[in-house]
Structure 1
Amino acid sequence: MRSKPAAIFMAFGTKGDIYPLAAIAAAFACDQEQYQVFFITHSAHENLMVHLRANKVMYIPVSSPPVVSPLEHYGKMELSFSAHKREIIQKHRYECTSIIEDILGDSSVEGDVIAINFFALEGWSLAELFQVRCIVVAPYVVPYSAPSSFERQFRKEHPGLYNHLQEAPTDKVGWKDVIHWMWPLFTEEWGSWRSLDLNLSALPFTNLYFAKSKPVTNSEPNPLTELLGSLVFWLKDPVTGLPTFHERLPSPLLLYGFSKEVVEYPEISASVSPGSSNKQNKLCSIHLGLQFFIEFPAAELPVFIGLSSIGSMGFLRNPHAFLQVLRTALDISDSRFILFSAGYEPLEAAIESYAKEASSCPEQTQRSNGGVSFFGGRLFCFSGGSTAAALLAGVPQVICPFMLDQFYWAERMYWLGVAPEPLKREHLVPDKDEDFYIKKAANMLVRALDYSQSSEVKTRALQISNKLSNEDGVSEAVHLIKEELRSCR
């Protein structure tokens, strides 16, 4: 029998989706020693383990990859991509259920909470199953908007629940929550898992509600729904005779991991700043080569190129062509680049190949502890995955979005005046390494860099930085979570 409440942080996705929640989990564990704190994420993020354990957070890996992309090369596979993805999802959900069951046991303890990001919606249904509080901590905007036909279909297929949600007070779960971020929970993707694997109703907030109408979808019908045919019933309250979903639940806490100085959104429950790192952080010794490159006398600071996870997601098909673009851009500009390879093996192999080719020309390549510089010391390649908080640092940006909310943020940075118009994919990572494509991409990159170095953009970047410098997002997030848990007692 557990004596301490559990705070379970579930975060799935790539590093930008994971790391902010890891920071909050660590801060929460240090602040709330009465809690057992757990962090559930992909085994690919095991580098977080040491930091989390040092802050008394138990790291629990799941075997699923951070992203399953049709652009990735899977080799010869008997399964189609869709079948392969379904297999991964099924195993992933089974692992999540087993982990939560192991942590929470047979009964909940007062104060138990599950905190999820938008890619960990399993946590919402598991919180319902184990009857614990669920909150959302999102370091990004909602990745998918509801289809335009969603509300019309929902109203037609579930009129009682639709009216119930529409009539909800502002502090209770209502249609505003559903249409903003909860809508995927009402689709077949989640409904069949809830009903067949968790023994919950297919629709959230309906308890044992079954009906001929199935979750909003055009896919194959739910076998359970077909079995029931036209039977419609609810588990009713023995006193009022009303359906159990008549009991209104509090609207869940939703924390966004960005500043209101950057994104204006009147319906955000709470907002926390990305600029919340520990001010005691120092450059560790393995980064001395990078530090030397940054501090080397030059007219301009180097331009940082962070690839995030675009390589592992299949977007960097030709690393050699990408390096050629950077080389050509250096030939026609005065820039210097720092390239973080994000641990993407094909790119690191291409970098190593360049290093071997240039080994006969020491002036063209120099190795240091943790990195290698090329092209007369103007490109420093660093084998790491962290990206700079450009807004907090007050430096201009050049952004090339590839998927999901990257397009939103790229446009947002342009609107704020800290970046040029977003580059198109082929402007940075051409698939072909022919001279025509390389030169075209390099020219586009140089024009974007020239724009980013204008006095207007630099001034605006510093203004935003000054506004963000007084924010401490991690501390604010921990405070808001504590307040939410206190209100539930």
Structure 2
Amino acid sequence: MEGGKEIQRAKPIAIFMAFGTKGDVYPIAAIAAAFATDQNGYDVVFITHSAHENLSSHLEKKNVMYVPISSPPVLSSNGTDDKTGSPELEFSKQKKVITKEHRRECCSAVERIFGDGPSLEGDFIAINFFALEGWSLGELFRVCCVVVAPYVVPYSAPSYFERHFRNELPLLYKYLQEAPADKACWKDVIHWMWPLFSENWESWRKEDLNLSPYPFTDPVTGLPTWHDRPPSPLLLYGFSKEIVECPDYWPSNARVCGFWFLPIEWQFSCQECREISTLLSSGHLTTDEMCSAHAELQYFLKTPLSMPPIFVGLSSIGSMGFMRNPQAFVQVLQSVLGITCYRFILFTAGYEPLDAAIQEIANEASSISNQRQLIQNGITLSDGRLFCFSGGSTAAALYAGIPQILCPFMLDQFYWAEKMFWLGVAPEPLRRNHLVPENTIGTSIRVAANVLSQAIHDALSPRVKARALEICKRISLEDGVSEAVKILKEEIGRTI
């Protein structure tokens, strides 16, 4: 796939480009792996942050080339080294530098992959909503671009966007409004493409890629391509129709596949536990014991059977700067443990300040009570009731048929929190200060602990439990990854 005019490619190329956190990236990697397995006549490439390098071994086994990009999955102003006296200004400067290098690396990677030769029928780039570079790169290399998104588009156009667009680009607005429903039209723009018409992307397209400033316009005249109306871009969503309705105002080529769950072998960070799971599933092993390093974890999960632990997943709220006081968060959990008989298993997502807060409290508890402690591989057992290690999810809870409690912080989290409440599988969403108080004042901690305890009580009610099992049964027969591969084959891929 490396460039070179003398090389004539025999196979079409499928590039899957996904940026963001694990929840943004891993489902796309699962589709790339499944597509490569199903379509061995394709060369399949996966481009993402180097921070997700642990995907590379899984992808390699499926004959998918892993291409790392050095940019971080998350940019947070918290870690900015302020040299200007203004943290906001310093963060903005840092973001511009990282973005410029990120786009340069993306362009260079795609150029190496496609080379200098002509594109082949069947070539395509699949992107998530945080990899919009791929749209313009697809245009540059004359290959089809599709969108693969694990969730509903997480951002909406500003209220002034359509008015501004109509005033600044009247001919392009007319072109999009008059387009047939099956062609690229205003529905596509207002649903997800609108950022591509911002100055941020306009300058990169024009100055670095030598493309027209805006999609669907001629690079020479700047006028809409009246003579060439491309089809509505394929947009695959990785959730269930049982959970999210598909309104008429969505683009005509938006498809809902079902949830994109990862292969089971990807869900183990421990090689030995993964091998045990493989032997179990193949019938070569009859015991379900974990490896010796994780025997304590297994004991915690199973004992007592009458009181299974409650999972607390923080996703990326720490690394994105939403957890200013991890000590307060841990104290809330401690307070809940003190007034209830619940047990928690906490995924810290590797957020170091939270890990440090847990370590400190665990050490204090150990010195006071002589309780047995296990501090190994990021795992801490305190009072036999609080277990912590790194790792995320709404879809996983739905699939498991268990109730959930949501505390939204950003983007689509508010949508999903309200959706789960509306479906009846979760109580009313928590406010941020009821999970992560701003301070460790006793009153704040007590109020938050009482609210969280009540939310857990409501989530464990017979009504919510029954509803969670009902939804689980509805989605259990879906195979979202296989459906996505099927649609890709039908729409752009070719069966070889």
Corresponding residue of 2:255: 270
Deviation string, structure 1 residues 44-93 (Cα, Å, up to 9, x no partner):
111211111121111111111112133x2323445621111111111111
> Separation in 1 of the partners of 2:218 and 2:494?
24
Structure 1 residue aligned with 2:211, among 200, 206, 218? 200
C-alpha displacement of 1:185 = 0.8
> Separation in 2 of the partners of 1:170 and 1:387?
35
8 Å contact from structure 2 (residues 30, 261) kept in 1: no
Deviation string, structure 1 residues 419-471 (Cα, Å, up to 9, x no partner):
11111111111121221211111111101101101111101100010011000
Deviation string, structure 1 residues 126-155 (Cα, Å, up to 9, x no partner):
000000010000011112111222222222
> Separation in 2 of the partners of 1:434 and 1:35?
59
Corresponding residue of 2:362: 355
Corresponding residue of 1:231: none
Deviation string, structure 1 residues 184-238 (Cα, Å, up to 9, x no partner):
1111111111001100010101122556xxxxxxxxxxxxxxxxxxxxxx5xxxx
> Separation in 2 of the partners of 1:300 and 1:209?
68
Residue identity matched to 2:466: T
C-alpha displacement of 1:369 = 5.9
Within 5 Å, give how 1:155-170 maps onto structure 2. Answer: 155-170=166-181
The verdict on how the C-alpha distance between 1:406 and 1:365 changes in structure 2, with shifts beyond 3 A counting, is farther
Corresponding residue of 1:414: 421
> Separation in 2 of the partners of 1:369 and 1:147?
47
* Range that drifts further, 353-362 or 145-154: 353-362
User: What is the SS of the residue equivalent to 1:273?
Assistant: coil
8 Å contact from structure 1 (residues 207, 245) kept in 2: no
Task: Tell me the TM-score normalised to structure 2 length.
Answer: 0.87
Structure 2 residue aligned with 1:247, among 215, 228, 231? 228
Within 5 Å, give how 1:53-452 maps onto structure 2. Answer: 53-70=60-77, 72-78=78-84, 80-107=90-117, 108-210=119-221, 234=223, 244-266=225-247, 267=250, 269-274=254-259, 276-278=261-263, 284=274, 285=291, 287-360=294-367, 364-367=371-374, 370=377, 372-382=379-389, 384-387=390-393, 389-452=396-459
8 Å contact from structure 1 (residues 194, 200) kept in 2: yes
Q: Which runs of 5+ in 1 are unaligned?
A: 212-233, 235-242
> Separation in 2 of the partners of 1:5 and 1:194?
25
8 Å contact from structure 2 (residues 489, 495) kept in 1: no
Corresponding residue of 1:478: 485
Q: Percent identity?
A: 60
> Separation in 2 of the partners of 1:147 and 1:369?
47
Residue identity matched to 1:16: G
C-alpha displacement of 1:26 = 0.8
The verdict on how the C-alpha distance between 1:287 and 1:167 changes in structure 2, with shifts beyond 3 A counting, is farther
* Equivalenced residues, count: 457
Q: CA RMSD in A?
A: 2.2
Deviation string, structure 1 residues 170-189 (Cα, Å, up to 9, x no partner):
21111111111111111111
User: What is the SS of the residue equivalent to 1:475?
Assistant: helix
Residue identity matched to 2:154: P
Q: Which runs of 5+ in 2 are unaligned?
A: 1-6, 275-290
Residue identity matched to 1:86: K
Deviation string, structure 1 residues 78-116 (Cα, Å, up to 9, x no partner):
562111111111111111111110111113222111000
